[in-house]
Every structure is written in C-alpha cells, then in structure tokens.
C-alpha cells in the first residue's frame, strides 16, 4: 500500500508535526509512505520506506500525488502550517485528520495572515457553510467586534475544512458528533509519542517547596492564562508555588505586563516556545499542570496526553473532551468558576499532594491503555485499506449532487421524485461493484465506517 501524508514537519513549532514524526515509522512498517511538506526545509531522520517531498501549493505535482492508494491530511487550526494542506485537500480527496473541529482560527487566520483567503472569499466561505447569519457574525469578527473563540462556538466551519474529504478522522466523541451527518468518519483516540518518559529521577523533587506549576502548549485565549494569574495573585499561599509557562502565545508582551501588574514577577516565568528537551526537563520537575480550555475547540488534547505520560496531575476545565475523561485521572475546574476552583485545588494540593499524584498515576495508566501510538497507527492503516469504499461513497454523493443540480432547473417536485429514484438506482449500480487487479497495491475493499448510512 502507498500512502501520502501531508503534514507540517519539524522544526515547525507544532504538536501535529511532532505527532507525524512519531507516526511515520509505524505507518512505514506496513506501507510505502511519502510525506509532503510545503516548507522548503525540514528536520526528519531518514527512514526506510519513507520519502519526503516538498511541493509548491500553486503547482502541486498531481501525477505523483495520485500514485498513492490514499492521502492523509493533518489538519489543525494554525493557518501558517495548514493552509497549503487545506488547499491540496480541497482538490485531491483524501482522509482529513481533524485535530480541531472548530476551525475559525484557521479560516479567519488565513485572512489575517494574508495566507490564502481574502476578506470576500472568507465571508463567502462562511456564508456557504453557515448561511447569512454566519456571514454577519464573520463580518463582526473581521471588524474586531466578535472574538474568534466566540465565533467558532457558533459557526465552527468544520464542514469547510472537510468539504472534499473522502473520510474524516476525529479524536473525541464530541468531535464525531459535530461532523455533518453524511460524513464518512472514524473515531480514533488521539495518541502521544511512542516512549513514555522514565520517571525514576523525577520523584525526588516532589516533596520540596516551592511546588512547581506548569502550563504548556499553544497558549491561545481559551487556555485562560490571565485567569490563572489572577487566581495565583489572590491566593494567600502563592509564595509556596512557582509557575512556569512554556509555549507560544499572541500578545506575550501584554502577558508579561499583566504578570508585573499582579505582582507575580518572582513566582511566574514566561519561557515562550522551548525545545522538546527543555520541556521534558520542565515536566520532570513539575508537581501540577494547569491545562484549562474554555471554550474548547472541540477536540482531544495532545498536551493532556503528554502530561499524563509524565504521570502528572492536571487541572482541566470540565468541558467538551475533558469532561469525558475518567474522574480519577484529572482535577476538574468548573467553567465560570475558574478562580475559586483553582485556588481550592491549590490549597488542597498543599494539604495532600499524594491525592493529586494518584490522579497523575491513573492518567499515566489510562493513556498507555487507550492512547497508544501503535493503536492509532494501525487505526489509520485500517482506514487506508477502506479507501476504495470511501471513494465509492464520495463518487455517489458527487453524482447525486450533480444530478440534483441539473434536475432542479427543469424538474417539478412531482417528477423530481420519480426521476430521483431512478437516478439513485443507477448511481448505486455504477458505484457498488469493484474489482482489484492482482498486481495492484491497493488493499482489498471492505466496508468502512460511516457516520451514517
């Protein structure tokens, strides 16, 4: 089997790039993999069965891309890393792996970064997927009158990100439920890197104070860092904690000012983006992670899986995917009550740290049982094997759309019904049978998972 994988690659500061790096050897053990990068340079170790190719999104090498049995697209919310991937996925149907289902950050980001959509195109896109009301809201957003997060909750543009997809992979029940009804979709629990870190040398520091709090990942407004800072600022035993923040954020300078203004300069350090090695060291020294999301962009959290691998307890918002994780693996914070709940947890942690360490150990066990990268990779390979069936469904839908469009111009409702029946029968006849030549590398066809019949 031949696979294409379109993904950001290191040194891109993207968790998805890291995930792809970990997945490649596993995919390549069963398939011939071509990784397509829109960047002009990348850092990827040479591997058997893996070829890396760059492409110009204005002139994609379709003939080479078309040699694969199936194409995977890693789709996330950062317009810098995913705009080329989205452009290709719209033209060459493949399996879109959605790392977020609320994609306003991506689409409006294309406008703000001048990266592939102008204002008119963006508004037309929103209107096509969410109607006139969506367009009005998007116009407000462009004028700075509506936050991306709030817009994304109502008009997520999920369907725009998958509009030509053969199939979609999501990582949570909530994301699965959010997909349009006729989507061929698969739910795969998100995974983290293959090797869980050794923790023997971590435990020694855990009894000493000050306690180390950590926040890491891409720090968008929904990560609630200002709220955490305010909770710390008004917590009477704040000096018994240190907070380290790792990751990129918009408006880092303003955040530094807020730290100063709240009098937290001695206990809070904003590190910015750091290497995997630095983050690894930091997590080894951490006592408690704050990993809030509100609003959630609807998907499973890679950073949560990562911190579980370190056996770390975390404060999470009881919302979306986080609300579905086992109660004995995290400490919950109620949406709207963040400051009070954070302070309550900090106090409880000081009283009984072991209670929280148990959560981390449970989380470590949970992630190894449910989110292994081996299981994830074999899930992707199973989906790849079902590509012929996904293609048949895609073709049938496409033919039905074209037929409906042609008929709607001249057919009345009554005749439409009679003709539609016949058209449906013939579309079924045209797409239901297949034959796989012996010499083909295409996997045998089988029935794939469909979100709905």
Partner 1 sequence: MRIVIATVQIPFVSGGAESHAAGLKAALIRAGHEAEIVTVPFNPAVPERIPDQMLACRLMDLTEIHGTKVDRLIGLKFPAYLIPHPNKVVWVLHQHRAAYDLWDYPFEELSASPGGVMVREAIRRGDQLLTEAKTVFANSRNIANRLGHFCGINATPLYHPPPNADSFFGSNTTEEYFFFPSRMSASKRQSRVLEALALTREKVKVRFAGVADSPEYGRRLKQLAAKLGVDSRVEWLGYLTEEEKRESYAKSIAVLFPPVDEDYGYITLEAMLSSKAVITCEDSGGPLEFVSHRKTGLVAKPTAAKLAEAMDELWTERSAAAKYGRAGRESYEQLGLSWSTVVERLLA
Q: Which residues bind partner 1 (CB under 8 A)?
A: 60, 62-63, 65-67, 91-93, 388, 391-392, 394-395, 398-399, 402-403, 422-423, 426-427, 429-435, 437-439
Nearest one of 295, 67, 89, 292 to 174, comparing CA atoms: 295
Q: Pairing relation of β-strands 95-98 and 70-75?
A: parallel
Q: In whole angstroms, give the CA distance from residue 373 to residue 193.
A: 6
C-alpha angle 60-63-68 in degrees, rounded to nearest 5: 100
Q: In whole angstroms, give the CA distance from residue 12 to residue 276.
A: 12
Q: Which is nearer to partner 1, 67 or 446 (CB)?
A: 67
Neighbours of 232 (CB within 10 A): 23
Q: Which is nearer to partner 1, 256 or 426 (CB)?
A: 426
Q: Which is nearer to partner 1, 250 or 426 (CB)?
A: 426
Contact by Cβ (8 Å): 70, 387: yes
Alpha helices in 29-68 (DSSP H): 62-65
**Least separation in angstroms between CB 383 and partner 1:** 16
**Least separation in angstroms between CB 91 and partner 1:** 4
Q: Which is nearer to partner 1, 380 or 387 (CB)?
A: 387
Q: Which is nearer to partner 1, 68 or 192 (CB)?
A: 68
Q: In whole angstroms, give the CA distance from residue 326 to residue 322.
A: 9
**Least separation in angstroms between CB 394 and partner 1:** 6
Angle between helices 79-91 and 104-112 (to 10 degrees): 100
Neighbours of 302 (CB within 10 A): 22
**Least separation in angstroms between CB 389 and partner 1:** 10
Token digits of residue 119: 């204002």
Token digits of residue 330: 């995290």
Q: Which is nearer to partner 1, 323 or 395 (CB)?
A: 395
**Least separation in angstroms between CB 434 and partner 1:** 5
Contact by Cβ (8 Å): 4, 21: no
Alpha helices in 4-118 (DSSP H): 15-28, 62-65, 79-91, 104-112
Q: Which is nearer to partner 1, 60 or 189 (CB)?
A: 60
Nearest one of 259, 323, 262, 312 to 285, comparing CA atoms: 312
Q: Which residue has the tokens 């709607």?
A: 408
Token digits of residue 92: 């060459």
**Least separation in angstroms between CB 63 and partner 1:** 5
- At residue 37, φ and ψ (nearest 5 deg) are -125, 135
Q: Which is nearer to partner 1, 69 or 78 (CB)?
A: 69
Q: Which is nearer to partner 1, 412 or 432 (CB)?
A: 432
**Least separation in angstroms between CB 395 and partner 1:** 5
The rounded radius of gyration (Å) of the Cα atoms in the chain is 24
**Least separation in angstroms between CB 407 and partner 1:** 11
Q: Which is nearer to partner 1, 347 or 406 (CB)?
A: 406
**Least separation in angstroms between CB 61 and partner 1:** 9
Q: Which is nearer to partner 1, 84 or 297 (CB)?
A: 84
**Least separation in angstroms between CB 435 and partner 1:** 4
C-beta contacts of 59-67 below 8 A and 24+ residues apart: 60/88, 60/91, 60/92, 62/92, 64/34, 65/4, 65/36, 65/92, 66/92, 67/2
**Least separation in angstroms between CB 57 and partner 1:** 12
């Amino acid at each position: 089997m031949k696979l294409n994988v379109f993904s950001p690659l290191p040194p891109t500061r993207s968790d998805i790039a890291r995930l792809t790096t970990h997945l490649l050897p596993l995919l390549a053990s069963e398939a011939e993999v071509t990784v397509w990068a829109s960047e002009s340079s990348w850092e990827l170790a040479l591997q058997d069965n893996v070829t890396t190719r760059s492409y110009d999104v204005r002139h994609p090498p379709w003939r080479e891309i078309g040699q694969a049995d199936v194409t995977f697209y890693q789709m996330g919310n950062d317009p810098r890393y995913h705009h080329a991937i989205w452009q290709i996925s719209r033209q060459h149907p493949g399996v879109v792996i959605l790392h977020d289902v609320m994609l306003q950050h991506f689409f409006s980001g294309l406008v703000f970064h001048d990266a592939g959509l102008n204002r008119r195109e963006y508004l037309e896109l929103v209107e096509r997927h969410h109607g006139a009301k969506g367009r009005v809201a998007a116009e407000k957003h462009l004028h700075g009158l509506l936050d991306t997060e709030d817009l994304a909750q109502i008009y997520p543009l999920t369907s725009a990100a998958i509009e030509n997809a053969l199939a979609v992979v999501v990582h949570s029940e909530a994301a699965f439920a959010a997909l349009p009804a006729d989507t061929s979709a698969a739910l795969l629990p998100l995974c983290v890197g293959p090797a869980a870190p050794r923790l023997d040398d971590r435990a020694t520091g855990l009894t000493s104070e000050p306690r180390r709090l950590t926040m890491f990942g891409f720090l968008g407004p929904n990560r609630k860092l200002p709220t955490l800072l305010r909770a710390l600022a008004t917590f009477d035993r704040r000096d018994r904690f240190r907070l380290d923040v790792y990751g990129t954020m918009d408006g880092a300078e303003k955040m530094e000012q807020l730290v100063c203004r709240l009098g937290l300069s001695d206990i809070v350090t904003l590190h910015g983006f750091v290497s995997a090695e630095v983050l690894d060291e930091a997590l080894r020294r951490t006592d408690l992670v704050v990993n809030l999301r509100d609003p959630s962009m609807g998907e499973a959290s890679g950073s949560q899986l990562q911190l579980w691998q370190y056996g770390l307890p975390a404060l999470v918002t009881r919302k979306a995917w986080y609300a579905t994780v086992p109660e004995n693996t995290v400490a919950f914070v109620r949406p709207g009550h963040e400051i009070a709940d954070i302070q309550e947890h900090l106090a409880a942690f000081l009283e009984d740290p072991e209670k929280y360490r148990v959560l981390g150990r449970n989380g470590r066990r949970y992630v190894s049982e449910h989110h292994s990268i081996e299981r994830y990779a074999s899930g992707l390979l199973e989906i790849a094997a079902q590509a012929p069936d996904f293609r048949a469904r895609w073709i049938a839908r496409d033919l039905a759309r074209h037929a409906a469009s042609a008929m709607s111009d001249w057919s009345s409702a009554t005749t439409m019904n009679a003709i539609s029946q016949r058209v449906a029968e013939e579309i079924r006849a045209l797409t239901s049978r297949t034959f796989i030549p012996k010499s083909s590398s295409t996997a045998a066809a089988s029935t794939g998972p469909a979100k709905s019949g």
